[in-house]
């Protein structure tokens, strides 16, 4: 058991994703309660009081983001659920979309009511086929029962929902970039300010929230902010969905109460490491998790992980973050040079090319690491990687350029001896292994 639950508090069966099953476990009661007894601002206040932080990566307080919109300002407002879960190692929102889509829909109705939104969107990654089918079927069920459209539950509140499928670009998971994708322009990340709550979709105030963040709102409104705050820690209330992959016996999606012991999670709940290997390192929250904490951020080494708890404050203090909730477990014997090569290839491929440091820098780093892995590395390559990585820091529009640099410096800081060995001997210290053998 990984502590108390907010989202995974029911047994998944063949039909537990349907409207009937959702209603049977109390679904849409929060919506009825809000429409009958709460003003829109009361719903926002409940979310503020819950202290829930965004579950997509930045951990920004969701309620504060909502407070950036005045529901009575007479302008159109938009709400977007960001379901473009493209961060490597992250597949936890997929669980909500497949197994509890009505929790997301009810929560989006509550958010739309709170924010004065008439048209809401789910931006779902194109690769998510079954999650899209499940979500689409849930939207149809909800419309058939009068939960979307005009005069919802006889309250006079009206809201329509559109499901928009992305086309496979990682950068569209960046909140400002997906606006362009929906608008039909090139999906380039946008400079801030202005914040999206000032000028977002179609130039109107817009809230973009991660799927898990939004899906928790129905629970918060149904049970109250105080009940939510009783779960987790004082500074990190609630739970996190964590998708675990890599060299682990029981990979999958887990809901973990914030503050839970990391060692217990890995060694007991997730069954320990494959092949009875020792833990070498953990990438805690998707390969870009380092971006959130700046240049000191790092991949966590085995010793650090054993003493940590899963919450924002402890991870921040350790120079890392829970990021997007995609935990990648790395066993002893893994070649970190090859692992960094894969990460840098990914960033280079996914750079949108808008900023020179990111467009050129990811390409340079990719070429240097390729040269090292090909056995043609030069002693100065390590300094070159550091130099290019640091040049990206803070000079780009979105976090992709930073993240690529932080991935390189984190690996070099923690495993420099492996890079030196590879360059000197022209082969990997660990045979280039990425699998557990």
Binding positions for ligand SF4, rule: CB under 6 A: 171, 189, 351-355, 358-359, 396-398, 400-401
Min. distance of Cβ 174 from ligand SF4 in angstroms? 7
Min. distance of Cβ 327 from ligand SF4 in angstroms? 24
> Which two tokens mark 126?
């194109």
Min. distance of Cβ 58 from ligand SF4 in angstroms? 15
The whole-angstrom separation of Cα 84 and Cα 93 is 9
- Confirm if 287 and 251 have CB atoms less than 8 A apart: no
- Confirm if 196 and 175 have CB atoms less than 8 A apart: yes
Residues 6+ positions from 435 with CB-CB distance below 8 Å: none
Q: Which CB atom, from 112 or from 351, has the smaller least distance to ligand SF4? A: 351
The whole-angstrom separation of Cα 417 and Cα 305 is 21
The whole-angstrom separation of Cα 429 and Cα 167 is 39
With CB atoms as reference, the residue minimizing the distance to ligand SF4 is 358
Min. distance of Cβ 232 from ligand SF4 in angstroms? 32
Please give the order of strands across the beta sheet that includes 160-165. 160-165, 117-124, 77-83, 206-210
- Confirm if 26 and 6 have CB atoms less than 8 A apart: no
Q: Which CB atom, from 189 or from 200, has the smaller least distance to ligand SF4? A: 189
Min. distance of Cβ 354 from ligand SF4 in angstroms? 4
Q: Which CB atom, from 23 or from 367, has the smaller least distance to ligand SF4? A: 367
Please give the order of strands across the beta sheet that includes 326-331. 252-257, 239-246, 326-331, 279-283, 300-301
Min. distance of Cβ 352 from ligand SF4 in angstroms? 3
Q: Which CB atom, from 293 or from 396, has the smaller least distance to ligand SF4? A: 396
Q: Which CB atom, from 352 or from 412, has the smaller least distance to ligand SF4? A: 352
Q: Which residue shows structure tokens 């362009």?
A: 180
385 preceded by cis ω (within 30°)?
no
Min. distance of Cβ 392 from ligand SF4 in angstroms? 8
- Confirm if 17 and 98 have CB atoms less than 8 A apart: yes
Min. distance of Cβ 403 from ligand SF4 in angstroms? 9
Q: Which CB atom, from 120 or from 179, has the smaller least distance to ligand SF4? A: 179
The whole-angstrom separation of Cα 329 and Cα 281 is 7
The whole-angstrom separation of Cα 52 and Cα 60 is 9
Min. distance of Cβ 406 from ligand SF4 in angstroms? 13
The whole-angstrom separation of Cα 93 and Cα 300 is 24
Q: Which CB atom, from 309 or from 351, has the smaller least distance to ligand SF4? A: 351
- Angle between helices 356-373 and 399-425 in degrees, nearest 10: 20
> Which two tokens mark 36?
């009958």
- Three-state DSSP class for residue 369: helix
Q: Which CB atom, from 194 or from 252, has the smaller least distance to ligand SF4? A: 194
Min. distance of Cβ 123 from ligand SF4 in angstroms? 17
- Angle between helices 336-350 and 356-373 in degrees, nearest 10: 150
The whole-angstrom separation of Cα 137 and Cα 413 is 48
Closest CA to 108 of 224, 256, 207: 207
Q: Which CB atom, from 220 or from 398, has the smaller least distance to ligand SF4? A: 398
Q: Which CB atom, from 40 or from 357, has the smaller least distance to ligand SF4? A: 357
Q: Which CB atom, from 400 or from 412, has the smaller least distance to ligand SF4? A: 400
Min. distance of Cβ 324 from ligand SF4 in angstroms? 16
The whole-angstrom separation of Cα 223 and Cα 91 is 27
């Amino acid at each position: 058991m990984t502590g108390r639950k907010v989202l995974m508090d029911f047994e998944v069966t063949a039909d537990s994703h349907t409207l009937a099953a959702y209603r049977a476990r109390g679904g849409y009661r929060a919506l009825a309660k809000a429409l009958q007894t709460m003003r829109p601002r009361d719903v926002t206040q409940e979310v503020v009081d819950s202290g829930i932080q965004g579950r997509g990566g930045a951990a920004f307080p969701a309620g504060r983001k909502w407070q950036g919109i005045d529901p009575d300002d007479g302008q159109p407002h938009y709400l977007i659920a960001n379901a473009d879960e493209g961060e490597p190692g992250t597949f936890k929102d997929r669980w909500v979309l497949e197994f509890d889509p009505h929790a997301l829909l009810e929560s989006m109705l509550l958010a739309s009511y709170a924010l004065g939104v008439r048209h809401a969107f789910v931006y779902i990654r194109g690769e998510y086929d079954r999650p899209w089918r499940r979500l689409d079927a849930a939207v149809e069920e909800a419309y058939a029962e009068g939960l979307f459209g005009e005069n919802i539950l006889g309250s006079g509140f009206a809201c329509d929902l559109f499901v928009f499928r992305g086309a496979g670009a990682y950068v569209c998971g960046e909140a400002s970039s997906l606006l362009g994708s929906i608008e039909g322009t090139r999906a380039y990340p946008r400079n801030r300010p202005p914040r999206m709550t000032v000028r977002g979709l179609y130039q109107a105030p817009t809230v973009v929230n991660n799927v898990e963040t939004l899906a928790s709102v129905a629970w918060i409104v149904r049970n109250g902010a105080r009940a939510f705050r009783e779960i987790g820690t004082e500074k990190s209330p609630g739970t996190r969905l964590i998708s675990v992959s890599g060299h682990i016996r029981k990979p999958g999606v887990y809901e973990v109460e914030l503050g839970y012991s990391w060692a217990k999670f890995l060694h007991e709940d997730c069954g320990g490491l494959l092949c009875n290997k020792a833990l070498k390192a953990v990438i805690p929250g998707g390969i870009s998790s380092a971006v959130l904490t700046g240049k000191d951020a790092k991949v966590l080494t085995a010793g650090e992980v054993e003493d940590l708890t899963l919450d924002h404050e402890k991870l921040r203090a350790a120079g890392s973050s829970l990021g997007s909730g995609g935990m990648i477990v790395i066993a002893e014997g893994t070649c970190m040079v090859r692992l960094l090569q894969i990460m840098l290839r990914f960033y280079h491929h996914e750079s949108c090319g808008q900023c020179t440091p990111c467009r050129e820098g990811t390409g340079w780093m990719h070429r240097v690491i390729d040269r090292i892995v090909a056995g043609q590395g030069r002693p100065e390559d390590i300094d070159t990687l550091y130099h290019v990585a640091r040049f990206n820091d803070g000079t780009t529009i979105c976090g992709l350029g930073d993240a690529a640099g932080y991935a390189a410096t984190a690996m070099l800081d923690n495993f420099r001896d492996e890079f030196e060995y590879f360059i000197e001997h022209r082969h990997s210290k660990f045979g280039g292994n990425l699998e557990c053998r």
